[in-house]
Amino acid sequence: MSTTAQACASCHARKVRCDTVYSALSVPQPCTACQKAGTECKPHQRKRRREASPDYATIQSKRPPPLNDDVVSVLPAQHTIHSRGPVTKASPQSSYLGRSEYVPAHVPIDEEDASRYEGHTHLTSSTDCSTVISTIPSSMRSSLVKSFNDCCRPWMPLLSEAEAMRRADEEPSSLLTTAIFVAGSKVSTSPKAVEVGTQCYARARMMFFAEEEPDVLQVIMALIFLQWWNPSGPEHVSIHNSSFWLRTAVGLAHQIGLHREPSPKAIDGPLRRAIWWTLVSRDCQIATSHGRPRAINIIDSDVRPLALANINAVDDDDNNLFISFVNITHILGDLTEHCLRGTLGAQQRMTIEERLLHWIKSLPTPLRLHERDTNRLCAYNFTSRHIHVPYFVAITILFHQKRSNECPPMPSLLAASFISGIFEEYLDWGAMTAVSPASIFYIFTAALTQISSHRYAGVTPPDIAARELQIAEMSLSELKKRFATAYGAERVVRQTVHAMRKTPTASLTRAPTILTEQELEFFKPFGPELCHHWYVIQAARSGLATALPSCQGSPQQETYMTRPEVVQMDGNLNIDSMPFFGTDAMATDLDAWLPDDAFERLWWRDWTSQPG
């Protein structure tokens, strides 16, 4: 028989000795202290410690022990990390995109649905990184440098072609040379380019964080070139995309004072100026494509604008291209920033228009699309086509419709048509591998503008509408082979097409008006070859207009320039037969997210109503 010595509750509370004995087989007798006090003698109940729940205990037992220094020291140095993004679900760390504030569309852009694609991030092991350059054949290195010189360097001429080739031969393992290989792999047609580029990107990233390159200017140049890699779209948060590397480069640039005018005596003054304005241009392109704030506030800089006299005089043609490209991307960046801030008043709008007209009129002859005297299309040249695309994108955004139930104005439609014409040439000449990631946003903007106009009978003839959609489909299909950004843009375009098919023409309220004399100025330097709506410009130049009854619901008549052979559309473009935009192309039904009155809602801000 077991007994337990335990104080009663009264003795325990008074902290005195208790002489009672509790037994499992006998009734306990009151203790002496309780008998004297005349109180009930009850056994004291101890407070038990709270036991862990079964689930928590199970989790704790299965959790591996924490790593200490001894454990970490024996981990193998060679390891490979493969990370793949979400396939069907939107990333929980969804990124912010404000492009819907100025991209012309008649339905809200569903950015969550746009993020429903698989992103790729690949980091090679440290051992592979250290040996990657030595395993690349010299012929492959030369091929990547040539691709870089042909497609990347003209838009950021921070070193000459000869210098890039010299580095590939004499310093193939440096950070800057490795970044050149990375950029070249993105525009290369070699079947091994993707694999080599992946390895070089991992090595360049490792070298950057290990601070192996002491020259900060070379580090910034390398970070600029790494922005071509861009393995994930803006819909996903990533530390590998162009936005991340741009802001890292801008931070270093501010630290070494690149935003200040270099001393006239500085040997590296022209290079510092070129690097700074390259960062400004890249910042404008990325901010415009994503609808995010720019990393650089130009007001804080006193670096003189680019001119032939103050940049590296490697080649005047290269310098003219660089100067013109920086200027037009800067104008586009200023425009979209005004749209995001809601500050595009009358005065700001007039300034943007004047800058655009000055840019197109002062463009050097080798960069012009059409001959100055005859307006005849110049022979195909990639750089002359590519530099005009931001110009037409700026016009598309500047004149976009103010409300969702309006057709895009004529200047916006014409500019979008020029963009399609240029991308059609890219496809014909096999030049889609040479375009930059920002080109995805450019064709995306043009496509949404054109699709919005397809809701109107008579605005876009069926044959032209089908051709425009085909160009957008083929362009995005080619671009997504190299840049994940195109996947999200493709999904948005599909959504908009299917929403357009559900919209009856009778629900629309306004048709586009005739071109004004001021609007016609933006298209005077061009000819008909790249514009599917050229008949509008031709009629405006001739002063001919055909009065059309406005769409149902509009209380007024509008004048619109029509092509003589145009046949009125029946209101809904039949696109089911198109493989890209057919009914089977969409994995999700837009009825789930598109409200019945979507087209009647006020979607676009009236930027021009803001005070100047």
Give per-residue pLDDT as tens, 138-179.
Answer: 999 999 999 999 999 999 999 999 999 999 999 999 999 999
Number of H helices and E strands in the chain, helices first, is 22, 6
8 A C-beta contact, residue 256 and residue 294 = no
Query: What's the confidence (pLDDT) of residue 455?
Result: 80
Q: Transcribe 567-610 into DSSP letters.
A: PPP-SS---TTSTTTSGGG-SS-GGGT--TTGGGS--S--GGGS
Query: What's the confidence (pLDDT) of residue 424?
Result: 97
Query: What's the confidence (pLDDT) of residue 320?
Result: 92
CB-side exposure of 164: number of CA atoms within 13 Å? 29
Classified as helix, coil or strand, 236 is strand
Tell me: the pLDDT tens digits for 76-104? Answer: 333 333 333 333 344 445 555 555 566 65
> Residue 385 pLDDT > 90, yes or no?
yes
Helix (H) or strand (E) holding 360: helix 346-361
How many angstroms separate the CA atoms of 611 and 9, rounded? 82
How many angstroms separate the CA atoms of 574 and 133, rounded? 53
pLDDT band at 215 (very low <50, low <70, confident <90, very high): very high
Can you say whether the dihedral through the CA atoms of 252, 253, 256, 259 is positive or negative? negative
CB-side exposure of 64: number of CA atoms within 13 Å? 4
379 phi/psi in degrees, rounded to 5: -55, 150
CA distance between the termini of the chain: 99
How many angstroms separate the CA atoms of 391 and 304, rounded? 23
